[in-house]
Chains A and B, each alone.
Chain A
């Protein structure tokens, strides 16, 4: 990671530490808008992390962006930063002007809305990050090509949904909508590539949240006394916490290798087979870890961690939802197996070839 990348991450850490305490997250879910947090995210230009400097952005690397997304998840950020970053990335890839405020990528890994002539139709059941003032950035299919459409929220039917952690999800119905802006077909963008990119966003978020859960659990078992000593002095607890650390470390390694692999590609949404393997690995490992870690962390926290007031639940609910978005570990596991079997059938290859590639 470059020095400037680290500076940006440090800035973000300070911003989140100052404006995103545990209380802010809970209040946001209860309907109190975190104004100062939202305002400062926009002011610092974080949503433009992936946008080139010529286009008015930060010009950060893929690694920086995914690092930022991971960091934001370690604060359970109640703001659609990741979504806006991705939406801007889509706009930038399509050569369109990026959003100055919030934007939502209208994609949930199901079939893309279709472009007929100059209008778009389709339903996206669980689009993430739609705030009322957000610009809707919609990948639309036309034959084998994908274009990016910018659509005004007033032009579509928005039905609010909530993730397990109360994050905004929206059912978006597009009925012969004429986009405000429509890009040319985007070179090097495929549905598989979109799916991989979004899966890696969720995997990065899970990795960040797992780190936070590790920290919260270690702190809790050191502080909480029962039978005259801290819980952390009991070997049964130590071994459980070590399991959290292990899953978190594995998730981290899996996400980092995927980010490296994606960074080596020319086009981030191309859906190359190699990227697929790396991303699928990250999503399988992070989604699997989510269930295990949520269970152990709650067990270690006792009833306290089950209360709304204590911050653990903001993270456990997030990972339990994120693990099933953009492909569960089962979905991506099967996907990998089919790639392996296919290469064995068609090229006389080996599973090891695909592991060691």
Chain B
């Protein structure tokens, strides 16, 4: 039996991290005051505003951990962490650049060609180039290794055919990282023969169609690839290594603050609204939320610290996402005891708007980036049960 001892070390926070937090906070306060955005719930998925992303790029707050030659600032992962936290807490419309900053950029940095890095990364950092994820397909959701999109070698490059689904924000993106089958299916090695490509979405043969979600927001997309030609330059990393790359992206993807802060803006607004005479059961319920949030944050920080030590805390990251995404939903479930949610329209009531919006958005929290059932499977494997 493997006795797992979870350990969540504290990252070392120097003064520059705190300073950065204050800077970002002040900037966002100013932006809200100027009316440049209205705080929204689930802002890292539902809030698309390319102009706002460009502003953040101009501030130098995208791709901050990357080398300077590629437009980064060579800051620590912790610097990036506090930027993302403050953006989420403010409910800022950050989806346009979120994926590229969080995972496509680092993926390109790790696996892209020099030409690609010099061409794409500085534009991402400037808030001018956005990237969508091309993972899921109509027939491949949790079972990602079953993707049917194919890339075949042709003269001078590759030809891609297939359909990608649920790519958030693709309508404003210049590129998509497309996971495609490049080798034959092998029952003994289901995860082999997969390769990732960086595909320009303006290439001939690509069509992107928006899909509305149940909350009324159109951020999802279905993208068709019909004999799309890309050069060898578009291959990310080694042919056939796509699966390994994806799983190493996941610890980063799963443990960040967007896995427990998606609805925090509602909790903050609720506190502001009732602080004058908060008492009794309402205080108990809301305070317990703050406690759980503080603990989740300690856990997420711990995973960040482990990642920066070069460890692979896959199980810990899966736990953060499983617990965190359920907590995001529980916030709204808890608050509705005191602020019942009946109408869709806000009628000027900001809190109500945040609550009803969250409620209609939150089924996705425990699905995206690996369903919680998949995550529990990863934990069970870590415990030696499978």
Contact = CB atoms under 8 A, between A and B. Distances in A.
A285 B292 contact: yes
B385 A252 contact: no
Contacts of B286: 333, 337, 340
A276 B224 CA distance: 55
A229 to B, nearest CB: 12
Given A330-B288, A338-B287, A218 B384 contact: yes
Interface string A215-244: 100110110000000001101011101110
Contact of B380 (A239, A248, A251, A344): A239
A253 interface: yes
B284 A330 contact: yes
B376 A249 contact: no
B30 interface: no
A343 to B, nearest CB: 9
B79 interface: no
A242 B383 contact: yes
Nearest to B264: A352
Contacts of B291: 254, 280-281, 284-285, 329, 332-333, 336
A244 to B, nearest CB: 9
Contacts of B385: 218, 221-222, 232-233, 237-238, 241
Nearest to A344: B275
A233 B385 CA distance: 7
Contacts of A242: 322, 375-377, 379-380, 383
Interface residues of A, number: 55
A112 interface: no
A9 interface: no
A238 B386 contact: yes
Given A242-B379, A352-B89, A337 B297 contact: no
A215 B3 contact: yes
A253 B10 CA distance: 9
A260 interface: yes
A334 interface: yes
Interface of A: 211, 214-215, 218-219, 221-222, 232-233, 235, 237-239, 241-243, 245-246, 248-254, 256-257, 260, 277-278, 280-282, 284-285, 288, 329-330, 332-338, 340-341, 344-345, 350-352, 354-356
10 contacts: A232-B386, A233-B385, A239-B373, A260-B10, A281-B295, A282-B295, A285-B291, A337-B282, A338-B287, A344-B271
Closest 3 interchain pairs by CB?
A337-B287, A333-B288, A284-B291
